[in-house]
Amino acid sequence: MARTGTNLEAVAEFNVSVVLDAVRRRPAGVARSELITLTGLSGMTVSNVCRRLVEDGLATETVLPATGRGKPPKILRLNPDGGFAVGVHIDPAVVTYVVVDLAGAVRHHLRTRTPTVRDPAKVVGEMASAVDDLLAQSSVDRTRVLGIGIAAPGPIDAAAGVVINPPMLPDWHTVHLREALSAATGMPVLLEKDATAAVVAELWFAEPEGSRDFVFVYYGTGFAAGIASGGDVLRGFSSNAGDAGHLTVDPTGPVCWCGRRGCVGNMTVPRALVERAVERSVLPRASAGNMDDVLDVGEAFGRLADAVDAGDAVAVKIFTEAVEALARAVVVIANFLDIEEVVFGGPFWDRMAPLALSVLPQAVLEDRALVLPHKIRFAESSVPVDVAAVGAATLVLDEAFSPRPRSLLLTAPAEVEGGLA
């Protein structure tokens, strides 16, 4: 497609996003003179943009006391109440709802059990009702809510807004979620994969000098990876990048449902570890509950983690084997993407973290297959509550406020249908 340039209106909107992004990343406040240096914009442009941000309620400006000659400096700060977004994370066990303000703070959250999709209209009605309850309980200004982001297990059809057929959600076949929820709530809706939403959250919350090339290892009911490259989210052709669960980490390992042996997802997810704990008599079979019930698996996984914390040798070995398998997958991903950092998170990560972070970094760095010439950093997600839900909300904020160079093109590639205006 030919690209024929830009126009002044697009440049003006882009400059607003650039200044707002600089202000947002400096919560203590920033002077106009510093914004000129940070953004490379002219003093007049920065002044005009600052005035607009204040008028639109996105920022506040305070004049500092005069300390000498000349005009006292004006300090611009983000107004957290300037905009809100709702995030929804559909997990096989529970649906988490959050409302997030412009500064990224979670104002309120609630959870409901994930419904079985036999009647899609009923499911959408339940979700719309939950969003109404969330906003009512949070007391935020509904007129300032920009939209709803949904994070769902893949695969998804992002262009059509459809949850296709997630392996852990067997009844969710081709659910047209985006349009239906938008119609039910009267708000714009965006749909994203859960691991990708987690990357959006990490980039939104990142410090100005934070890593721009990282992989987010998402440890939930399933295993996935989200990818940031050069500060952008890597989504892939159909927005389904990051399904790393079938990386082979042990050719002699257990047979996966895909027919191969030693897939990292099949070897490391909570259900697999609970089954191993039952086989090795760490957990009584009766206490493991129904292995097809995600909530039962979660409770049993918690008891296994308790045994690890208590120093049970067999339980520790089960966790260690899983972490070593995970480390081999991280090596493959790191080599392939040339990443700087690995960030860990997800619904079940907290219970795995103490042992994992004492074993995995060294296992990765000592792996002879690691060929990168630079060190890899390891970190845990600092996002509160539910990183995928918060990521879904920040997806809306990111779409509305982040500077996007492609927006400058007169004949830019078509945006994903359903994006925010």
Least confident of 158-172, 191-205, 212-226: 158-172
**Hey, what CATH topology would domain 8-78 get?**
Arc Repressor Mutant, subunit A (1.10.10)
Predicted local distance difference test score (pLDDT) of residue 402: 79
Between CA 197 and CA 393 the distance in angstroms is 9
Give residue-wise pLDDT tens across range 233-283: 999 999 999 889 999 999 999 999 899 999 999 999 999 999 999 999 999
The SS3 assignment for 232 reads strand
Predicted local distance difference test score (pLDDT) of residue 1: 44
Give residue-wise pLDDT tens across range 137-173: 999 999 999 999 999 988 999 889 998 888 777 777 8
How would residue 417 be classed by pLDDT, with cut points 50, 70 and 90? very low
Q: Which two tokens stand for residue 129?
A: 């009702």
Distance of CA 229 to the CA centre of its chain: 15
Range list for CATH 3.30.420.40 in the chain? 83-201+386-408, 244-339+347-380
Q: Which of 107, 100, 105 is nearest to 85 (CA)?
A: 100
Average pLDDT over residues 192-199: 94
**Hey, what CATH topology would domain 244-339+347-380 get?**
Nucleotidyltransferase; domain 5 (3.30.420)
Give residue-wise pLDDT tens across range 24-55: 888 889 998 899 999 999 999 999 999 999 99
267 touches 325 (CB < 8 A): yes
Rounded to two decimals, the pTM is 0.85
195 touches 242 (CB < 8 A): yes
Task: Return the CATH number of the domain spanning residue range 83-201+386-408.
Answer: 3.30.420.40
Between CA 227 and CA 224 the distance in angstroms is 10
Q: Is the pLDDT assigned to residue 67 strictly greater than 80? A: no
Predicted local distance difference test score (pLDDT) of residue 9: 59
Peptide bond into 155 cis (omega under 30): yes
Looking at the chain, the whole-number percentage of residues with pLDDT higher than 90 is 62
Predicted local distance difference test score (pLDDT) of residue 399: 87
How would residue 420 be classed by pLDDT, with cut points 50, 70 and 90? low
Range list for CATH 1.10.10.10 in the chain? 8-78
Predicted local distance difference test score (pLDDT) of residue 416: 44
Q: Is the pLDDT assigned to residue 301 strictly greater than 70? A: yes
